[in-house]
Amino acid sequence: MANSKFEYVKQFEQHDNLLPNTWIVVRIDGRGFTKFASKYGFEKPNDRRALELMNAAARAVMAELPDITIAYGVSDEYSFVFHKSCSLFERRSSKLVSTIVSTFTAYYVHFWPIHFPDTPLSPPLPSFDGRAVCYPTVQNLRDYMSWRQVDCHINNLYNTTFWALIQLGGLDATEAEKTLKGTFAADKNEILFSRFGINYNNEHEMFKKGSVVFRDYELVEPGTHNTAAEVDTLAEPVEQSKTQSEKDRKRRAKAHIVVEHLDIIKDDFWDRRPWLLS
Ligand code: ATP
Ligand code: ATP
Ligand code: MG
Ligand code: MG
Ligand code: MG
Ligand code: MG
């Protein structure tokens, strides 16, 4: 191959292959969505159409990338988990992150008219940032997922109470903020119930728990299978044979992708779906 005298510039590229045999989480987040939400009149605190649009885009991303095991979304963010055996793009961080971000954004724009039929998009158009983080153990990964879901719960309880004080209580934003300063979860539940007759438990599951996207196989009855954590610690060959991983890949590509609003902090979700973390 004849190389040009310019080709040396390729050497300036930095290697960014992520640590092998670790769970890769790519989290994307809407840029300036506080403004974006107000421009398109998102309902406060939770616009259902906007959340369902996020879910539709995430589902499409998962369908295009069979290496993704599970995704979790709340507000304007989505976390995509690549299986620890993933070898897509030789695990190059910039390739993984940019592919997720652009695929997600493309579908977000593509599906926009389905979810907001009366409000066409106009510049500034929606965009997302993204980052990749490696988690070495199943426990670390589950703690990551729990962290995002706890965040969803804390923010949603705060926002639900904040907006009830404004929309139903007639307070302005400053007064609502002052009312909530220093309150605990129990206080917010009490404000919602005693002032507005709202039982927080009856709020929509999607708002309280966020959205979990995963490939659905047959559920496993708890106790009949190794738990995900056990599977991780079993002595297993580090590398699968090519044919086996190719088979797994095809099986994953065919499985139905579902969006549900479940507790992913407790063991039950993972115990019943051992394929997610094995
Ligand atoms: P940044 O660019 O730093 O991420 P941001 O304005 O997007 O800035 P976030 O912390 O990501 O800040 O917060 C997301 C914002 O988008 C919040 O203000 C949230 O209320 C709003 N938002 C996102 N999704 C919805 C939704 N479905 N309904 C109502 N508001 C939403
Ligand atoms: P990868 O995902 O690895 O980038 P690729 O198929 O996109 O795979 P590239 O090396 O990026 O491979 O090459 C871009 C391809 O797109 C080439 O086949 C090129 O001929 C084609 N292509 C891009 N732009 C045009 C264009 N304007 N007209 C015709 N063909 C184009
Ligand atoms: Mg951000
Ligand atoms: Mg944002
Ligand atoms: Mg956000
Ligand atoms: Mg290309």
Tens of pLDDT, residues 2-34: 689 999 999 999 999 999 999 999 999 999 999
Residue 46 Cβ < 6 Å to ligand 1: yes
Q: Does residue 231 surpass a pLDDT of 50?
A: no
Please give the distance, rounded to the nearest whole angstrom, from the Cα atom of residue 32 to the centre of ligand 5.
9
Residue 206 Cβ < 6 Å to ligand 1: no
Please give the distance, rounded to the nearest whole angstrom, from the Cα atom of residue 251 to the centre of ligand 2.
29
Output the pLDDT for position 240. Answer: 58
Pick the more confident residue, 221 or 203.
Answer: 203
Output the pLDDT for position 221. Answer: 67
Burial of 63 (0-12, 13-18, 19+ CB in 10 A): middle
Question: 60 Cβ partners below 8 Å, 6+ apart?
Answer: 103, 107, 111
Indicate the top mutation candidate among 75, 128, 155, 157 to test ligand 1's pocket, ranked by most ligand atoms within 8 A of CB. 75
Q: Does residue 236 surpass a pLDDT of 70?
A: no
For residue 3, give both structure tokens: 């190389």
Please give the distance, rounded to the nearest whole angstrom, from the Cα atom of residue 272 to the centre of ligand 3.
33
Burial of 196 (0-12, 13-18, 19+ CB in 10 A): middle
Output the pLDDT for position 193. Answer: 98
**Domain 18-153+205-276 superfamily per CATH:** tRNA(His) guanylyltransferase (Thg1) (3.30.70.3000)
Q: Does residue 247 surpass a pLDDT of 50?
A: yes
Three-state DSSP class for 62?
Answer: helix
Q: Does residue 137 surpass a pLDDT of 70?
A: yes
| Atom of ligand 1 minimally distant from the CA of 77 | 11
Share of the chain above pLDDT 90, in %: 84
Q: Does residue 237 surpass a pLDDT of 70?
A: no
Least confident window among 62-71, 139-148, 238-247:
238-247
pTM of the predicted model as reported, rounded to 2 decimal places: 0.91
| Atom of ligand 1 minimally distant from the CA of 47 | 28
Residue 39 Cβ < 6 Å to ligand 1: no
Angle at 89 between CA 87 and CA 90, to 5 degrees: 55
Q: Which amino acid is at 227?
A: T
Pick the more confident residue, 256 or 105.
Answer: 105
Atom 21 (ligand 1): residue with closest C-alpha?
34
* Closest residue by Cα to residue 71 from 210, 218, 245: 210
Output the pLDDT for position 248. Answer: 72
Residue 76 Cβ < 6 Å to ligand 1: yes
Confidence of residue 244 (pLDDT cuts 50, 70, 90): confident
Check whether the bond before 45 is cis (ω within 30° of 0). Answer: yes
Residue 21 Cβ < 6 Å to ligand 1: no
For residue 230, give both structure tokens: 């056990």
Q: Model confidence over 140-153: pLDDT tens digits?
A: 999 999 999 999 99
Task: Read off the DSSP letter of residue 234.
Answer: S
Confidence of residue 227 (pLDDT cuts 50, 70, 90): very low
**Chain centroid, CA 147 distance in Å:** 12
Confidence of residue 255 (pLDDT cuts 50, 70, 90): confident
Please give the distance, rounded to the nearest whole angstrom, from the Cα atom of residue 85 to the centre of ligand 1.
33
Average pLDDT, the chain: 92
d(CA 255, CA 269): 18
**Chain centroid, CA 243 distance in Å:** 30
For residues 188 and 137, the answer to whether their CB atoms sit within 8 Å is: no
Angle at 237 between CA 234 and CA 238, to 5 degrees: 100
**What is the radius of gyration, based on Cα positions, of the chain?**
22
Task: Read off the DSSP letter of residue 92.
Answer: B
Residue 160 Cβ < 6 Å to ligand 1: no
Three-state DSSP class for 202?
Answer: helix
| Atom of ligand 1 minimally distant from the CA of 49 | 27
Q: Model confidence over 149-187: pLDDT tens digits?
A: 999 999 999 999 999 999 999 999 999 999 999 999 999
For residue 277, give both structure tokens: 């973390």
* Closest residue by Cα to residue 222 from 272, 273, 274, 266: 272
Please give the distance, rounded to the nearest whole angstrom, from the Cα atom of residue 212 to the centre of ligand 1.
19
d(CA 128, CA 64): 18
Rounded to 10 degrees, what is the CA torsion of 156, 162, 163, 167?
A: 160
Counted residue by residue, the chain has a size of 278
